[in-house]
Amino acid sequence: MNFYETDARRLALWVQYESSLREALEAWHRRTYWCAFPEEPKAYGEEVLAQGETAFKSQLNRPFERLRQPARRWLLSDEVSPYTREPLGISYPQVDVAEALYHAQEALSRWRWVPYTERIGLLMESIHRFSKHFSEVAQATMHTTGQAWMMAFQASGPHAADRAVEALAVAYEELSHIPPYVRWTRELGKGQAVIDKYFIPQPEGLSLHIGVSTFPVWNVLPGLYASLAVGSPVLMKPHPRAIYPIAVVVSILQSTFEEYGLPPTIVQLIPDTVAEPITKTLAEHPLIRIIDYTGSTEFGNYLESLPGKITFLEKAGVNGVLIESVEDMEAVAKNLAFSASLYSGQMCTAPQNIYIPREGIRTAQGILSYEEVVAALTKAIEDLASHPKAAPAVLGALQNEGVVQRIERLAQMASVRRAPQAYTHPQYAAARTLTPIVAEPSDESLTRTEHFGPRLLTIPVENAQRGLEVLYEIAREKGMLSCAIYTTDADFKQKAIRLLAEAAIPISFNYRGQVFINQSVAFSDFHGTGGNPAGNASFTDAAFVVKRFRWIGVRDCLQG
């Protein structure tokens, strides 16, 4: 029996990409360094980079006409560049929710019956086509999120594409380890039972993917490609302030599907505005079965409370650092200053709380007091923030005015060691900027809340052991997406691992130099654990894929 809708051209794509997909899966198993796409822009050629910038400029103040989906009207977006403070002026095709769901259901009836190998081959092709647009998407990311250009290129380009390939590799493993067909036999006395058994993977249903304003591509692609790989059409609901970057990806997917004889509406872009949001309408609809989301804890808890939904959520966490002992405090301070300053702290993995024993810390040069450690951190922040070239390349700009207001409120409630202040961007005089605040909280409650933005809170603790206990408590209560421990004591390191692993905290020891705690690497690092309140999913473990589909058994009795 053949249940599937096969196609020779789609099968050829699978043949083309099978070896590279297997290589990605092998890398996922090894967990050593491997990448599908180089992260250096120069690897893609000057001409491609220039074409991307031209494409971006040509798209401004025009309708986004690349999507292949029905629409009744054009929606002018809320996208405003954090660098120029000017609206992008891009309008997107808007479709009614009911109509979008109708087209998604129609697409489901086709997509679920495409063999998973052909699906994955098509999706691999779309990622390679996307790689030709990394430069345009970098410009779109920069001018919707405020990321500096290099970070925007890497995060929304090769790093996001690597995570998409990683999701396909895991999907391939989970879909391929059960045989599609076996002939089952059993001796029954003088007779024999013969049954043909078929094992059919079927998606749970339609997927809704809710984008975020700060990482509109990197945070979306793992779930988007995981859902598509298992046969689930996707309604892509971007953040109203960051539509353009993911719209490019959706348009590439749609054109790829259409070219290979499938409905482009296997994935649809469903834009909205800040004033008229539609996310809850979509999320609550009974046809939506799977929801991927990155954003606030409050909205994430609401999504998690919806009955009948399978959710993959990344919510807010309170990331901590504990300094017990170090070899070189200056190197540690520079590393933490960069981690806290990267994209002005607008990263879910950026460090916030720095716990320092009151009695000070051990170094190769002797004991450093609490005040000396705080002074070293403050100086490192100041050195970076005042550097005319490093500051714009690292800090970028603030996505929205709410970040500024949040940090200003924090400054009013803490003992400020270094006041936050704007810097002048050398290319964009109007850029919304703010360098990190360094402060000691006056109230413990401030240490139990995420202050999303450029901030570093220094917190004295009785001793290093108490610091570990506080990290454990906060992770269990509020969640944590990154945690750093600095120690030269092997016994203390072992103790930290045993305690913090129980709270499902990912731990980084003694990061310095050019490796930073807020960066996770595809095929090696899991992003999030799914085991504490900061999120219920991990990029990209097996659970991130297997919850999206079911195995259906078909038995055909030939002899009994």
pLDDT tens for each residue of 311-356: 999 999 999 999 999 999 999 999 999 999 999 999 999 999 999 9
pLDDT score recorded for residue 2: 83
What are the structure tokens assigned to 501, written together? 């692993």
289/371 same-domain check:
no
* Closest C-alpha among 404, 474, 413, 403 to residue 439: 413
Phi, psi of 558 (to 5 degrees): -95, -30
Query: Does 290 map to a domain?
Result: yes
pLDDT score recorded for residue 190: 85
Phi, psi of 72 (to 5 degrees): -100, -20
129/41 same-domain check:
yes
The DSSP call for residue 34 is -
74/195 same-domain check:
yes
Query: Does 477 map to a domain?
Result: yes
Q: Which residues form the domain of 439?
A: 320-509
326/289 same-domain check:
no
pLDDT score recorded for residue 1: 73
CB atoms within 10 A of CB 550: 12
* Closest C-alpha among 101, 110, 96, 95 to residue 207: 101
C-alpha 119/C-alpha 228 separation (Å) is 8
pLDDT score recorded for residue 62: 98
The strand ranges marked E within 25-90 are: 73-76
Write out the DSSP string of 326-373: -S-HHHHHHHHHHHHHGGGG-STT---EEEEETT-EEETTEEE-HHHH
Query: Does 176 map to a domain?
Result: yes
CATH number for position 152 = 3.40.605.10
Number of folded domains that form the chain:
2
Q: Which residues of the chain have pLDDT under 50?
A: none
pLDDT score recorded for residue 406: 95
The answer to whether the bond into 424 is cis (omega within 30° of 0) is: no
Query: Does 71 map to a domain?
Result: yes
Q: Are 407 and 420 in contact (CB under 8 A)?
A: yes
Query: Does 531 map to a domain?
Result: no
**CA 225 from chain center: how many Å?**
12
133/12 same-domain check:
yes
CATH number for position 441 = 3.40.309.10
Residue 444: strand, helix, or coil: helix
The DSSP call for residue 274 is S
pLDDT score recorded for residue 48: 85
